[in-house]
Structure 1
Amino acid sequence: MLTSENDSLLARYRFACSLAESGGKLAYEFYQQRDSLQTLHKGSDLQDVVSRADCEVESFVKSRIAEAFPNDGFLGEESGTADEGKSVLWVVDPIDGTSCFLNGLHTWCFSLAIVIDGEPVIGVVYDPNHHELFHACKGQGAWLNDQQISPHPATTVAGGVMGVGTSHRVSTEDFLPFLDQLLQHGGMFVRNGSGALMSAWAAAGRLIGYYEPHMNPWDGLPGIVLMREAGGITNDYLAAEGIARGNVVLLASEKIYPQLKQWVKQPLL
């Protein structure tokens, strides 16, 4: 019999999956009229953009969570939060890969995680372009729609393709040494513009792993939960104030992770 704590966790898990699909479908409606969307740049980084779609989807999701779980906290990429101290925190990026979204590339997604008492326990990534819902809850395994997923079976980096990401928040010295080692050891890489989506692909065994020297929590946390529940390994993302400052992300199978870890310049806590 489930305990009340498990009942509460599973209720949020079911709601998170449904909400990700609803939020992703709303984002897709904006995607179909993207040429008419007004966009703004965040600060001086011309690669970091936000659109009306990001803001309206996040507002929709935030209101739905407040109605269903009024005592939970919320951390969104666009609206921020004042709720980090709450026991349950929903962490949301309404459109991860906004540049891809605005340029008509089908590599963006809706990204959501739930952190309870400082532990990431639910991760959901929804790709509305391909109707794929990647979802995981602590103790329940990781899934793509209704099919359970697991990491890539490769035993070395030469056995598959590695997902990587970077941004102007870090220097080339933080990122290029990893690529150099990967290539020297016979590996290959792909970057599609959405770290959350590539992390989900890694948990599903499409990629051998994912590395990014710095990810914000709304993009990094869902893949952390997905890979752990799929049976792989990740770094401790929430160490060193990761929920407030972001952190490095490395995730892969048990066989590949130790090899990748040697090439990461940032401390993996």
Structure 2
Amino acid sequence: MPDTPSSAAGLEARLAAAEHAAREAGRLLLSHYDRRSQLVIEQKGLNDFVSIADREAEDAIAAILRPAFPEDGFLGEETGISGAQEADLIWCVDPLDGTSNFLKGAHNWCVSIGLWSKGEPILGVIYDPLRDELFAGADGISPTVNGVPVSVSTTGSIDKTSLGLGHNHRVPPAAFAVDAERLFSAGGSFRQVGAGALMLAYVAAGRVDGYFERHMWSWDAVAGLALIKAAGGRFLNYPQPGTALPKGGMVLASGPVLYRDFVDLFQIG
């Protein structure tokens, strides 16, 4: 069978490679984590940091994926986009989501590897090295955590929900305050762990009922959205119409029961 986006064999091969790449990156990151006080840290923007750990992890992922699938594009947080932007398949990679947590010795950080095909997230692998939890799934391949099947939440009312609510300095603080007020007024609660990709993995696994962030980069979002799709969830078109994949966009994802309620709650047109 030809190795194409619609080929089960092609997707299975890529999923296996992504799982291997995520674990290799995680192993490397753990070695840096144990001596993080020695890392040279650069600040890219407001509360946005990078270290050699991020760069080496991305290089390790690319060293596995790019030779195996040379026809695929590659969009990494640290290296940008390479290969054909019009490629049928584009890897979207954040080698270390939650860098601030990582550098401070907190526990919520992960490796995120997603695959994009002509406007759709089709494969996701998110690895939490500290907990040794590997979230993996793809179109037609049921999502699992360390091999155990998972699915999205079936909670039926907002006043019973815990929603991941993300924020960054690309969005005005007042907008986040309004979103939080809307959620609280509806009886819901929110969670933040400082790693949006990990929160999307938790949505796919039913650990939180949904996730909303007014802007996420594609290297953070694609893997989690693919997992949520495979787990039976719903999400906004990503990125929004007329926006190039590297520019990212708004993310709203949840189980199917409350998806429209969340759209209405946050007044998304």
- Normalised-by-shorter TM-score class: over 0.9
Matched, 1:256 2:258: yes
Per the TM alignment, residue 198 of structure 1 is displaced from its structure 2 partner at its CA by: 0.7
Is the Cα–Cα contact under 8 Å of residues 182 and 266 in structure 2 kept in the other structure?
Answer: no
CA distance in 1, matches of 2:268, 2:27: 36
Aligned residue in 2 for 1:23: 25
Encode CA deviations 1:21-70: one digit per residue, 9 max, x unaligned: 11112111111111110000104x2x000011001111111122122112
Look up the SS of the partner of 1:75 in the other structure: strand
Aligned residue in 2 for 1:233: 234
Per the TM alignment, residue 242 of structure 1 is displaced from its structure 2 partner at its CA by: 4.7
Encode CA deviations 1:177-222: one digit per residue, 9 max, x unaligned: 2211111111111111000001111111110111101000010111
> Which amino acid in 2 is paired with 1:51?
S
Is the Cα–Cα contact under 8 Å of residues 177 and 263 in structure 1 kept in the other structure?
Answer: no
Aligned residue in 2 for 1:215: 216
> Which amino acid in 1 is paired with 2:107?
H
> Which amino acid in 2 is paired with 1:32?
D
For these two proteins, the number of residue pairs brought into alignment is 264
Alignment of 1:57-206 (within 5 A): 57-83=57-83, 84-206=85-207
Per the TM alignment, residue 232 of structure 1 is displaced from its structure 2 partner at its CA by: 1.1
TM-score by length of 2: 0.94
Per the TM alignment, residue 266 of structure 1 is displaced from its structure 2 partner at its CA by: 5.0
CA distance in 2, matches of 1:210, 1:26: 29
CA distance in 1, matches of 2:80, 2:33: 23
Encode CA deviations 1:65-87: one digit per residue, 9 max, x unaligned: 12211222110000101332222
> Which amino acid in 1 is paired with 2:212?
Y
Per the TM alignment, residue 236 of structure 1 is displaced from its structure 2 partner at its CA by: 0.8
Name whichever of 3-12 and 47-56 sits farther off: 3-12
State the percentage of identical aligned residues.
Answer: 36
Per the TM alignment, residue 108 of structure 1 is displaced from its structure 2 partner at its CA by: 0.3
In structure 1, runs of 5+ residues without a counterpart are none
Look up the SS of the partner of 1:239 in the other structure: coil
CA distance in 2, matches of 1:3, 1:52: 38
Matched, 1:38 2:24: no
Aligned residue in 2 for 1:50: 50
> Which amino acid in 2 is paired with 1:108?
W
Query: Kindly tell me: are residues 245 and 49 of structure 1, through their superposed partners in 2, closer, same or farther at Cα, counting changes over 3 Å?
Result: same
CA distance in 2, matches of 1:56, 1:49: 15
| Structure 1 stretches of at least 4 aligned residues deviating more than 4 Å after TM superposition | none
Query: Kindly tell me: are residues 101 and 115 of structure 1, through their superposed partners in 2, closer, same or farther at Cα, counting changes over 3 Å?
Result: same
> Which amino acid in 2 is paired with 1:75?
L
Per the TM alignment, residue 175 of structure 1 is displaced from its structure 2 partner at its CA by: 2.1
Is the Cα–Cα contact under 8 Å of residues 213 and 266 in structure 1 kept in the other structure?
Answer: no
Per the TM alignment, residue 148 of structure 1 is displaced from its structure 2 partner at its CA by: 1.0
> Which amino acid in 1 is paired with 2:29?
A
Name whichever of 215-224 and 18-27 sits farther off: 18-27
CA distance in 2, matches of 1:185, 1:66: 46
Encode CA deviations 1:92-112: one digit per residue, 9 max, x unaligned: 000000000000010000001
Encode CA deviations 1:227-262: one digit per residue, 9 max, x unaligned: 111111111113332512111001111111111111
> Which amino acid in 2 is paired with 1:153?
T
TM-score by length of 1: 0.94
Look up the SS of the partner of 2:245 in the other structure: helix
RMSD of aligned alpha carbons: 1.5
CA distance in 2, matches of 1:60, 1:222: 18
Look up the SS of the partner of 1:231 in the other structure: coil
Per the TM alignment, residue 265 of structure 1 is displaced from its structure 2 partner at its CA by: 4.7
Is the Cα–Cα contact under 8 Å of residues 239 and 250 in structure 2 kept in the other structure?
Answer: no
CA distance in 1, matches of 2:164, 2:14: 29
Aligned residue in 2 for 1:12: 14
